[in-house]
A and B are shown apart, each in its own frame.
Chain A
Amino acid sequence: MINKVGVLLMVLWALVGCDPVPSTQGFAGLGSDATGFAQVEPDAEIDYPEALNQHSDYRIEWWYVTANLESESGETLGIQWTLFRQASSPSPQREGWANQQLWLGHVGLTRANQHFSADRYARGGVGQAGVEMDPFTAWIDHWSMRANDEAATQFTLTAQTPEFSYDLALANVGPSVLQGNQGYSVKSPQGQASYYLSLPFLQASGSIQIGDEQFSVTGDAWLDREWSSQPLAEDQEGWDWFSLHLDQGDKLMLFRLRHRQSQDYFSGTYISADGTAYPLQPNQIRMQPLRQHSVAGRRLPVEWQLTVEDVGIDLRTQALNPNAWMATGIAYWEGPIRFEGSHSGKGYLEMTGY
């Protein structure tokens, strides 16, 4: 009997050299041409919980959960749970192993002095990863997010890696929020856009294990749902993304898309505690990097000055752990932050393309 492991591992090495998504255009290929896929149009009706379902006609989408947590002893922690879907070719969907959907899972855990990340790869068609409805379930291997009811008001979020695991209950205590123009979120002056819905009012509770340490945690969580076929412009090389829980109960989402050749593109939404969304125009937003930090051989801004004068926002943010580098196949910075200034609170920052 002969074992082909050697060959396979060599092949693996070669494969690891390439990203699971073609990355020639924009960050992680998000700016690639989307011919043959469904296109994002304004004035589409986006309903919840249907928005949680997968949209296979679109090239790419993600389910993105971050949570700012605190343990019983008062330690601050943050977790991330993300499922990406990318289609290598448009519909019709092929059956079994021939299926064109590729799935990618990322999980992260951050505390002040530690940061862990892990990723999982899968292809569609065989049940290793996917999204189902009634009730909503999204999974890759044994990492999953499932709704306990068909209305998707309660979720269970789990992930296990050799270093850490978490098992959280998420209760949606507020409305779902459509970002941009009724869920049509423009990403560049050329009009690239995605459908974008958030659940910013998730209350999290549950347990985290890091090695032998066990934590009981509670806190605020945020789900982003986004799907598109070409969310980025070709010359956009990355973004800086904030989701902020203001202590008074309001929420704020801000992002900056960095262009190689032209001016950066800004967008955001101010969400009052009752769930009313106030879309922000690019010229209303100022995002100023303050302190740079070296991590994984790159320099990234881990402190920011965020200003939206029209809604009285002037914040200075600070990373809980400046080394929150996601050392995954597609690598980026993602970690919990605190902020002070006109308001105080906590949130999550994601920085890609550095």
Chain B
Amino acid sequence: MRPLWYRQPFKHGFLWLYALLSIYPLFWMISYSLKSNDEIFVTNPFGLPLHFRVENYKTAWESFNVPVYFLNSVIVTCATVVGSLSLAVLFSYAIARMRFRFSGAARIYMIVGMFVPVQVIMIPLAILMRDFHLANTYGSLIVPYISFNLSFATMVFYGFFRGIPIELEESSCIDGASIYRTFFSIMLPIIRPALATMIIFVFLAAWNEFPMALVLISKETLKTLPLGLLFFQGQFTTDWGAMGAAMTIASIPTVILYMIFSDQVERALTVGSAVKG
């Protein structure tokens, strides 16, 4: 038999083309970070830089305290991932599988969080953080980040939990396992693909978040990486090359993390489907 790509050239052509188009921004961003304003906008917006302006990285590095910002991003993001995933997975299990009167209402209530525009609740939210005495602590980012990621994570987990056959709980019940045991040792392993996927999603959301961080954090020692961009955007001019360098520095960890977890997702997916067969 001839290989599949030979039999379906269009399909493969489309797939590869799409993949290249998707990976191009990574290349573009790195080139961008090594160019001058002139090259970025006029002479050479899309190709490799003509001279590698490594000094952009020097400027970026010297403009703000990269290690501190970086560490803050790591702390805030990790806490957000752990917090929102654990809360969401518990909540969605209850509304997807357990039986109580208001499960439907609880789900709709939670969905609303997906479409609350952050910009408009900024002032009430900031006041809330102050009243909780969280202003200018890691908590003033972690608490809102966890809360705002709950809706999305809950909905994804809900979908996965709904797809699991009820027989699993039935047999576990007959075996005499408690509901907690069933949840932790049977249900959680099954939704591993969803967990791995959501780790990536929530990580990205928290890592790249800008508007809340801008308004809620003013202490230099608590600032996260996206706020580093502020150092390059003037009222009129912007040092785009240095900004590109800052963005590259901020993006590399997410790309690496994604590469690691993406394999995890793939492997988990294969295991996950076997359970159901």
Are A and B bound to each other?
no
Question: Which residues of A are interface residues toward B (Cβ below 8 A)?
Answer: none
